[in-house]
Amino acid sequence: MVYLDHHATTPVDPRVVEAMLPYFTVAFGNATSRTHRFGWEAREAVERARRQVALLIGAGAREVVFTSGATEANHLAIAGAAAAAPTDRRHVVTVATEHRAVLEPCRQLGASGWTVTELPVDPTGLVDLDAVARAITPGTALVSVMLANNEIGVLQAVAEIAPLAHARGALLHTDAVQALGRVPVDVAALGVDLASFSAHKLYGPKGVGALYVKRGVEKRLAAPVRGGGQERGLRGGTLNVPGIVGFGAACDVAGREMPDEARRVGALRDRLWQLLQERAGGVSMNGASAPRLPGNLNVRVAGIDGESLHVGLTEIAVSSGAACTSAEPSHVLMALGLDKTAALASLRFGLGRGTTAADIDRAASHVADVVAHVRRSSPVARLAAAGAGR
């Protein structure tokens, strides 16, 4: 199959695997063991990886807190900020198109008595900055706005939201998982206080992520996971040394190759969009065409049954939305104003480091063939055609 689901996960880069291997069998020590060489080697490897991650995001090394992934990082940011917030700040602002890993902890706060504002987006997937400004009050503890959407790839104006949050004394968090390694991420330029990342979205291993915590902001977080005091007391638990090493190596590779790779993948994405319009017909792009991740294309196919479409796509790996909610209509697409039928008849293409021009041509031809077949046999298509004829 042609793999075009790089927003769900990416294969681990062989260079990353090579960097990780010694820390499974040879340099296998616990990074918090301080009395022997095995622990020292592991700790040195963790700190090297911390510097590599920090370099890619424009942070200081001590501002990087390793976690088990982005979901934990989001939870640390949201639940941690809420637990440490003063009693007169019990309000959080987020956006309807956020990943469930942000929406769910925010809704948990709502169930415990907090006020939660989920801002709508326009049909292109962008949040209105005036609406953000109106939503933030003196009682707001945290604003959480995703940098790059995991389904439609649009980039929110996080840097413009930062002064709006800070003017009211609120912290600003961004889920930057999909952006890291695909577009430049500079936490200082963005003005964020907290930012979540995951290794497996940029050719690193699964099971490791990080939370950027701006210097001084750690005083405004209460750690949900306590244990041995690791990660400056913000995240207890034995460090995943091989995973952390892999995360650092993946960031190192991305930092060197990202500009050229973004141009290459962006050109392939544009070719895929052109070919789908020519060969399949009746396709529309979901989300703004710009600003958008270079490897993202999300399209809906008119007058077609979504289940039949996805079942028929046997030669390419794509999805209808986030990997963890693919059985339901995408809440992101529904937030754009799409109905259930259109949301289910949508395809998310995620191009990546291994995608070639031949892959794009094959994918476009396969989608066109399947769409033509489904249109001939689909009740939805027949009803649409009958309606068009009246």
Q: What is the pLDDT of residue 236?
A: 82
Active site residue 106: no
Which CATH number is 13-253 given? Answer: 3.40.640.10
Nearest Cα to Cα of residue 99 among 28, 142, 21, 152: 152
| Whole-number Cα distances in Å, 243 to 23, 185, 384 | 9, 21, 50
Per DSSP, 281 falls in state: -
Quote the CA–CA distance of 382 and 376 in Å, as a whole number. 8
Cβ pair 375, 283 in contact under 8 A: no
Cβ neighbors of 308 (< 8 A, separation 6 or more) are: 374, 377, 378
Q: What is the pLDDT of residue 321?
A: 65
Q: What is the pLDDT of residue 325?
A: 46
H or E element: which one contains 274?
helix 241-279
* Predicted model pTM: 0.94
Q: Where are the domains of the chain?
A: 13-253, 258-384
Q: What is the pLDDT of residue 303?
A: 87
CATH assignment of 258-384, given 2.60.40.10, 3.90.1150.10, 3.40.640.10, 3.40.50.1360?
A: 3.90.1150.10
Cβ pair 106, 94 in contact under 8 A: yes
What radius of gyration do the chain's Cα atoms show?
22
| Whole-number Cα distances in Å, 61 to 66, 273, 339 | 11, 40, 45
Q: Which residue has the tokens 């090297």?
A: 48
**Given 324, 372, 383, 385, the catalytic residue:** 324
Q: pLDDT tens digits, the chain, 390 residues: what are they?
A: 999 999 999 999 999 999 999 999 999 999 988 899 999 899 999 999 999 999 999 999 999 999 999 999 999 999 999 999 999 999 999 999 999 999 999 999 999 999 999 999 999 999 999 999 999 999 999 999 999 999 999 999 999 999 999 999 999 999 999 999 999 999 999 999 999 999 999 999 999 999 999 999 999 999 877 777 788 878 889 899 999 999 999 999 999 999 999 999 999 999 999 999 999 999 999 999 999 999 999 999 998 999 999 999 999 999 986 554 455 799 999 999 999 999 999 999 999 999 999 999 999 999 999 999 999 886 655 665 555 444
Quote the CA–CA distance of 240 and 365 in Å, as a whole number. 43
H or E element: which one contains 341?
helix 340-344
Quote the CA–CA distance of 108 and 359 in Å, as a whole number. 42
Quote the CA–CA distance of 194 and 173 in Å, as a whole number. 4
Per DSSP, 63 falls in state: G
Cβ pair 205, 48 in contact under 8 A: no
Cβ pair 142, 171 in contact under 8 A: yes
**What tokens does 266 get?**
């962006």
